Amino acid sequence: MQNKTVDISRYKAAIFDMDGTMIRNMGHHKRAWQEFLRRHHVTLSDDEFQQKISGKKNDAIIELVFGRKMSKDELTKYADEKEAIYRELYKHDIEEVEGLTDFLLKLHKLGLKTAIATTAPLENRNFALNALGLNDKFEVILGDEHVSNGKPNPEIYINASRLLKVEPKDCIVFEDSPPGINSGKAAGMTVIALQTSHKMSDLLEADYFIHDFKDLI
C-alpha cells in the first residue's frame, strides 16, 4: 500500500466501479438486502453478510444466501426483487462520492478515456447516472449482464480495457471493496481504493488509497 499521491496523467484510461465508489449507496444496498432476506426468512451475521454479499454478482449472492443452485428464472426473479427494494430506498438520498463530477472533468481534460465496470444491473446504472447527470461521461459501461464471472475474477476489467483500446498497464481502477481491488489487480491494472465502504485493513491489496475524489483534484 502506497500513500495517496498518484500521477493520474501517466495513465490513458480510468475505470470506475459504481456502488460505493461513484455513489455512496452501500448502506442502502445493505438495507435492501436485509429487507429482502427478512421477507425470505434468511438471517446472516455481519461477517456472513460481508463474505456472501460484498462485491459479488447478484446470481452468486442469491445462491450463497439461499444455499442452493437455482434456475436462471429464479435468479432473475430474486435479483429483480432485491434491486427494486434498493431503488425505492435510495431514490431520495442518491449522492455522488465527493468530488466525482469534478474529477471526471479533470480526467477528460487530461485526455484519459473513462469507463464503468460494475456488478450493478442495467436498471441501477441508469438510475444512478440519470440522477447524477453523468450519462455522457463514459466511453464504455459494463455491468452484471456483460460478464460470466463476477469480481474478483478480472473478466470485467479486461473487457473494459479491450473496449477502450487501452492496455491494462495503462489503466487505473477505482474500487471500494476487496473483491473489486483483486479484480483490477488481476487484470494487470493500478488500483486506487476509496475508503467509503470498508476498513483500511480490508483494502491493503490496492496500490493507492484516497478518502474520496477531492483528494485527486
Q: Tell me what pLDDT residue 1 has.
A: 44
Q: Tell me what pLDDT residue 172 has.
A: 98
Can you list the residues of the chain whose pLDDT is less than 50?
1, 3
pLDDT digits (tens, 9 = 90+) for 23-44: 999 889 889 999 999 999 998 8
pLDDT digits (tens, 9 = 90+) for 148-188: 888 899 999 999 999 999 999 999 999 999 999 999 999 99
Query: Does 59 participate in catalysis according to the annotation?
Result: no
Q: Tell me what pLDDT residue 39 has.
A: 96
Active site residue: 19, 144, 176, 215, which one?
19
In 3-state terms the chain splits into helix, strand, coil percentages (rounded to 5) of 50, 15, 40
All 3 cell numbers of residue 148?
Answer: 460470466
Question: With contact defined as beta carbons under 8 Å apart, do 125 and 141 qualify?
Answer: yes
Query: Does 17 participate in catalysis according to the annotation?
Result: yes
In this prediction the pTM is: 0.86
Q: Tell me what pLDDT residue 150 has.
A: 83
Q: How far apart are CA 76 and CA 92, in angstroms?
A: 25
Instruction: State whether the Cα torsion 57-81-19-35 is positive or negative.
Output: negative
Active site residue: 17, 59, 144, 215, which one?
17
